[in-house]
Amino acid sequence: MKRLLLSDGRSLAWREAGEGPPLVLLHGWAMSSAVFSEALDQLSSRFRVLAPDLRGHGASEGGPGYEFADFAADLEEWLNALDLRDAVLGGWSMGGQVLLELYPAVRKRVRRLMLIAATPRFASAEDWSEGLPGGQVRAMARDLRRNFRKTMGEFFALQFSGEEIDRGRYRRIVDFAVRQGNLPESETALAALEALRRGDQSGRLASIECPVLVMHGELDRIVPAGAGRYLAEHLPHAELAVLSGVGHAPFLSRPGEVFERWRSFCA
């Protein structure tokens, strides 16, 4: 792990491998950069792959707030400190919403974007049907307070719901993606979940000028595939890839196929 001392005295940690054009990967809610362990290994022969831990996640220190703007502010400082240029930025799940928040501040450093199992609005509303019902999000927060680790385990398993995934493969994923990273503190996870419940970034889409790959699993039970279709329809320069038989984590379910698509898009 590498570390940067931020201007407010906190440290931001990241994993890095390879040389070449920079490819930055942002993890999802309550996860860490460990989820991209295979991506760093498989893509580092062609790219300089960097996977930061969001504040309060993995090995990065927490902060006073966990809104999308707070996560984005840390990443803006980090990108500027590393002076990354012509970068491809990829965001998975909540990382995609952080990416939408971050983009205006770093657009001159960005060549392309990838939004994987991402959404402009996590929770449903009267004018938005492609999200989780608010009651389900509140129930999840209640369960996190009652039994944090059990609820986190159930949430991780939900990412593969409906898939035909080998049990041995699933155990390997849990080993590197969960056990080799650090779960956030429960209050950090709850604060970030509340940001997800309230967030709406649909108004940001029209201003994204660069090409965007929108990748979604057809079976996603956390962020419905309709959210990915909405992104593709409302981003000015988007291409959509919907993977059949795949849930919320395409790069874990079908790493070979997904990484090849990333290589092609990032070239």
41 among known catalytic residues: no
Q: Which residue is catalytic, options 93, 127, 143, 216?
A: 93
93 among known catalytic residues: yes
27 among known catalytic residues: no
Asked if 243 contacts 216 with a C-beta cutoff of 8 angstroms, the reply is yes
What are the residue ranges of helices labelled H in 89-183? Answer: 94-106, 134-146, 148-158, 167-173
Taken in order 222, 117, 194, 66, the sign of the CA dihedral is: positive
Q: Which residue is catalytic, options 53, 70, 74, 220?
A: 220
Structure tokens at 126: 């009267």
Which amino acid belongs to residue 257?
A: E
Q: Which residue is catalytic, options 27, 37, 248, 253?
A: 248
Asked if 140 contacts 239 with a C-beta cutoff of 8 angstroms, the reply is no
CA distance 62 to 60: 7
Asked if 40 contacts 63 with a C-beta cutoff of 8 angstroms, the reply is no
Percentages helix, strand, coil for the chain, rounded to the nearest 5? 45, 20, 35
CA distance 97 to 68: 7
Taken in order 102, 108, 109, 111, the sign of the CA dihedral is: positive
Which residues belong to the active site?
A: 93, 220, 248
